[in-house]
């Protein structure tokens, strides 16, 4: 399911964002990246390859609840380049 528009689509329509926790004491201190293989372990998030969904995601602040602000800004700019 897309974290922007909440719709279900086939996997090839999505970009997968994966989270790797580096510090077990501080869950927000984790690295986040676009998982181009779709095979990485760790928690994954899907978003359509669509700027509209990226905007919806930014508006919902969903990622801010899961990641640190630095990680959020980094993944937003990386997603933008992929779309």
Binding site for Zn ion (CB under 5 A): 2, 4-5, 48, 53
| Shortest CB 7 distance to Zn ion, Å | 6
Closer CB to Zn ion, residue 8 or residue 36? 8
Residue nearest to Zn ion (CB): 2
Q: Give the residue with the Cβ less far from Zn ion, 58 or 68.
A: 58
> Read out DSSP for the chain?
-BTTT-----GGGEEEEEEEE--SS-TTSEEEEE-SSS---SEEEEEES-HHHHHHHHHHTHHHHHS-HHHHHHHHHHHHHH-
Nearer to Zn ion, 13 or 74 (CB): 13
């Amino acid at each position: 399911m897309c974290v922007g528009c909440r719709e279900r689509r086939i996997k090839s329509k999505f970009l997968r964002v994966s989270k790797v926790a580096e510090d077990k004491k501080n869950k927000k201190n984790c690295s986040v990246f676009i998982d181009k293989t779709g095979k990485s372990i760790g928690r994954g998030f899907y978003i359509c390859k669509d700027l509209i969904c990226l905007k919806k995601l930014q508006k919902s602040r969903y990622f801010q609840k899961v990641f640190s602000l630095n990680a959020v800004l980094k993944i937003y700019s990386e997603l933008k380049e992929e779309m």
